[in-house]
């Protein structure tokens, strides 16, 4: 988008480009960052090659890319136990809760194949090594430790984070894991609002029932035989930009607008740009506000048809009811 280029090419981002943190990157660029990657610094943790240490490069995808093949912990330590599971994305610092998982169809994914000792690093150490003052977009899928990692940033950095994405558990998949309810309670006390939540899960049926009662095709048939129950969530939070005492600068308002457009939160983008103009009197915010409003107005062409369909449906129901 031309406006993204115009914003991210400004002086505010020459020395302090957007900082994007991805825990659980798995070697892939986060799809939401595609349009801003070349202007941004990405700090990624790739669990596929943990023994390689810290690699910094001028990636073709990012302005600068820091890749850590180490495990992120909330507390400083040299090494930690890591549980390698049958399904690699389920591997974790936390031990899978075998007893609780036994009630679920995907329990085999969490079967521990071996336990290893791996090198660790904290986010504070990472930020110091990379010369990053803050994290603008925090994204983590750490398999059970999302909240404690976010909390380890400290209140000052937390309050200056603009977007935070988590994937917390709902069921007991790991021993002592951070849960969705805990995350929601934590974030409610801080300057954030929930912009999106997607609930995912598995079927609650024991393997023994599948094997003994459903036969050899039972495992493949389960998705069509029983509905999915909630197991974990994908949650996105936005900084609310409401507290004047927060150390948010013009750069943050510009970047917050970009993030809001990426997330299709056009109403919030309008709020940010209006407040940005009030605080900084920069004409760019007027342009951004107009763009956000125009994105909202694009729905006008679809709205009349939607309203007509609803009206016609109500009329039809009244006619049917009178017969």
Specify the CATH number for the domain of residue 55. 3.40.50
The predicted pLDDT at position 113 comes to 94
How many Cβ atoms from other residues are within 10 Å of residue 124's Cβ?
14
Residues 231-253: what's their mean pLDDT? Answer: 88
Residue 90 has pLDDT above 60, yes or no: yes
What tokens does 189 get?
């006390």
Give a yes or no: residue 263 inside a domain.
no
How confident is the model over 1-42, as pLDDT tens digits? 799 999 999 999 999 999 999 998 766 778 999 999 999 999
Q: Which helix (H) or strand (E) holds 68?
A: strand 64-69
d(CA 174, CA 147): 14
Phi and psi, residue 291, nearest 5°: -65, -45
The predicted pLDDT at position 102 comes to 94
The predicted pLDDT at position 310 comes to 64
Give a yes or no: residue 142 inside a domain.
yes
- Give the CA angle between residues 302, 304, 308 to the nearest 5°: 120
How confident is the model over 167-183, as pLDDT tens digits? 999 999 999 999 999 99
Give a yes or no: residue 155 inside a domain.
yes
Strands annotated E in 167-273: 192-202, 229-239
Closest Cα partner for 67 from 80, 50, 79? 50
Average pLDDT in the chain: 88
Give a yes or no: residue 267 inside a domain.
no
Give a yes or no: residue 25 inside a domain.
yes
Residue 322 has pLDDT above 60, yes or no: no
Q: How many domains does the structure of the chain reveal?
A: 1
Say if CB 84 and CB 110 are below 8 A apart. no
How confident is the model over 299-321, as pLDDT tens digits? 666 655 555 566 556 665 545 55
How confident is the model over 48-79, as pLDDT tens digits? 453 344 555 555 689 999 988 889 999 999 89
Give a yes or no: residue 278 inside a domain.
no
* Range of the structural domain that residue 215 is part of: 2-240
The interaxial angle of helices 266-280 and 250-262, nearest 10 deg, is 170
The predicted pLDDT at position 126 comes to 95
Give a yes or no: residue 248 inside a domain.
no
Q: Model pTM?
A: 0.88
Give a yes or no: residue 30 inside a domain.
yes
Q: What band does 215 get if pLDDT is binned at 50, 70 and 90? A: confident
Closest Cα partner for 7 from 300, 292, 312? 292
d(CA 83, CA 217): 30
Residues 94-115: what's their mean pLDDT? Answer: 95
């Amino acid at each position: 988008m031309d406006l993204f280029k115009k914003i991210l090419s400004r002086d505010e981002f020459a020395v302090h480009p957007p900082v994007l943190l991805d825990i659980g990157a798995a070697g892939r660029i986060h799809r939401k960052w595609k349009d801003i990657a070349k202007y941004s610094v990405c700090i990624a943790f790739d669990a596929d090659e943990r023994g390689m240490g810290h690699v910094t490069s001028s990636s073709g995808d990012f302005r600068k890319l820091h890749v850590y093949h180490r495990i992120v912990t909330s507390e400083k330590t040299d090494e930690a136990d890591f549980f390698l599971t049958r399904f690699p994305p389920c591997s974790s610092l936390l031990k899978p809760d075998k007893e609780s998982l036994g009630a679920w169809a995907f329990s085999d994914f969490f079967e521990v194949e071996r336990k290893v000792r791996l090198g660790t690093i904290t986010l504070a150490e990472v930020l110091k090594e990379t010369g990053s003052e803050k994290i603008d977009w925090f994204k983590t899928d750490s398999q059970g430790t999302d909240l404690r990692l976010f909390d380890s940033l400290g209140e000052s950095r937390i309050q200056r984070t603009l977007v935070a994405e988590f994937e917390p558990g709902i069921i007991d998949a790991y021993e002592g894991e951070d849960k969705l309810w805990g995350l929601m309670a934590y974030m409610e006390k801080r300057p954030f609002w929930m912009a999106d939540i997607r609930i995912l899960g598995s079927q609650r049926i024991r393997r023994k029932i599948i094997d003994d009662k459903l036969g050899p095709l039972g495992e493949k048939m389960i998705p069509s035989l029983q509905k999915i129950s909630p197991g974990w969530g994908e949650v996105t939070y936005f900084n609310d930009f409401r507290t004047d005492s927060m150390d948010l600068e013009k750069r943050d308002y510009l970047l917050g607008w970009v993030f809001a457009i990426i997330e299709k939160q056009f109403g919030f983008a309008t709020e940010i740009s209006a407040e940005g103009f009030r605080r900084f009197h920069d004409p760019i915010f007027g342009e951004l506000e107009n763009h956000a409003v125009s994105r909202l107005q694009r729905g006008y062409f679809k709205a009349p048809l939607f309203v007509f369909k609803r009206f016609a449906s109500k009329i039809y129901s009244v006619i049917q009811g009178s017969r």
